[in-house]
Amino acid sequence: MPDHFFVYPAYLAPGSPKTDGRRIAEGTTLKDVTAEEIAQAAKRLGYRAEVEGTKQYPRDVPRGAGRVKVTKRGGVPKSKFLRLVVTEIARVRSLGDAR
């Protein structure tokens, strides 16, 4: 079993059905998430994360948004990680808007 998993921006994108790759509930999605934002949020949460900018999500090839390679941490499933990352990105974005 690999020691990592991949996160594509399409996993967190609003307006797309789960069959097109969205992995979280529609109400918690974020608009225009980048692989860099995902990696930064993962690092702030204590994960090792690396952007692979040349990789593409197979269901969303035209966008070519890259992906993030995240090292697993014991006991935290990918679905929980995605919810944590969305919360962290939203928090950072709200701080940026408040300035």
In whole angstroms, what is the distance from residue 95 CA to residue 69 CA?
Answer: 26
Print pLDDT tens along the chain (99 aa): 679 999 999 888 887 777 777 788 888 888 889 999 999 999 999 999 999 988 888 776 566 678 999 999 888 899 999 999 999 999 999 987 655
pLDDT of residue 97: 64
Contact 24, 57 (CB under 8 A): no
In whole angstroms, what is the distance from residue 22 CA to residue 67 CA?
Answer: 14
Per-domain residue ranges of the chain: 4-98
The alpha carbon of 95 is separated from its chain's Cα centroid by a whole number of angstroms, namely 19
pLDDT of residue 59: 72
SS3 content of the chain, % helix, strand, coil (to 5): 45, 15, 40
pLDDT of residue 88: 96
Instruction: Indicate the fold that domain 4-98 takes in CATH.
Output: Phenylalanyl-tRNA Synthetase; Chain B, domain 1 (3.30.56)
pLDDT of residue 18: 79
